[in-house]
Amino acid sequence: MRVVAALGGNALLRRGQALTAENQRANARIACRALAPLALAHELVVSHGNGPQVGLLALQGAAYTPVEVYPLDLLGAQTEGMIGYLLQQELGNELPPEKRLATLLTQIEVDPDDPAFGDPTKPIGPLYTAEEAKVLGSAKGWTLKPDGGSFRRVVPSPIPKRVYGLETIECLLSEGCVVVCAGGGGIPVVHTRERVPAGRRLVGVEGVIDKDLASALLARDLTADVLLIVTDVDGVYTEWGTPNQRVIRRASPEALAEMDFAQGSMGPKVQAACMFVEQTGGVAAIGSIANAGALLRGETGTTVALDAAGLELVGTR
């Protein structure tokens, strides 16, 4: 079976944790320990978020004033390498030495006229107080929006249109390799009108693609059987944050489409899961990285499938 596992940013750096290398390595180790059995039993592709990391790099770059802050496409590429290195190393520590591993930088095409470039919504970087957000917004020209009781910087998040390098990924999978790719939603690129030997010139753009939507596109184009969206919560809930909240154990895309989910957190995950299932007829699941194996088997988390009977809920009111 071919599985694409999309690791959420909070699965690699828990909410409220300091953005230290030690914390990220420790969380990568936990994630890879959960993914290792899947790598032994199935063809496995791993993608990951990068919101906290790319925001930190932007902050660090802003502190070095002799040059302009590096654009987000370059910062995204840096995080793909950094997080990919951690995941590849920790997976290697959990798997037999003969198991092959590879991390790829992945360019993903977006539309230069995407409305997202005029309406930043993707949160990156650490949490700030209201006072800190006001100062940063004024000093750096950033857009900051509420995130729970705090604030985070938000940047454009264009819709992914095309994944480059699919042939390479397919080749690696055919050789039994675990592939880490499309990190942080991939590096957002667009075509210019300039002609080059390969066709039109590709250039990076200022934005961060949603990791879950990019992973759904990747899973579709790789004809994956299952898309796992793993994060720091154990499933999708109805009436989240209230005494009446209940986990959705199984649902159809149609049933989920009638519900509202937070666009800064669960919304894109549900959208990505539904998109993959509707376009491929495969199965998607959303849940905790700690239970990746059980999530794949449909024993925990939220499974999205065409044959689900509406919403199947767990828990009492």
**pLDDT of 9 higher than 80:** no
Could you list the active site residues?
A: 9-10, 122, 211, 269
Q: For residue 278, is pLDDT > 80?
A: yes
Residue 97 placed within a domain = yes
Asked whether residue 3 carries a pLDDT value surpassing 80, the answer given is yes
pLDDT value, residue 189 = 97
The confidence score (pLDDT) of residue 212 equals: 95
Residue 265 in any domain: the answer is no
Q: CA 103 to CA 84: how far, in whole Å? A: 6
Per-residue pLDDT of 175-212, as tens digits, reads: 999 999 999 999 999 998 888 887 789 999 989 999 99
In a domain, 277, yes or no: no
pLDDT of res. 271: 95
Give the per-residue pLDDT at 18: 83
Which pLDDT belongs to residue 139?
85
Q: Is residue 10 part of a domain?
A: yes
Domain count across the chain = 1
For residue 39, give the CATH number of its domain. 3.40.1160.10
Judge whether residue 241 has pLDDT over 70: yes
> Which residues form the domain of 204?
2-116+159-224
Q: Is residue 61 part of a domain?
A: yes
Do the domain assignments include residue 252? no
The average confidence (pLDDT) of the chain is 91
In a domain, 256, yes or no: no
| Residue 151 maps to a domain | no
Most confident of 64-68, 149-153, 251-255: 251-255
Mean pLDDT along residues 145-164: 92
pLDDT in tens, 254-276: 999 999 887 767 899 999 999 99
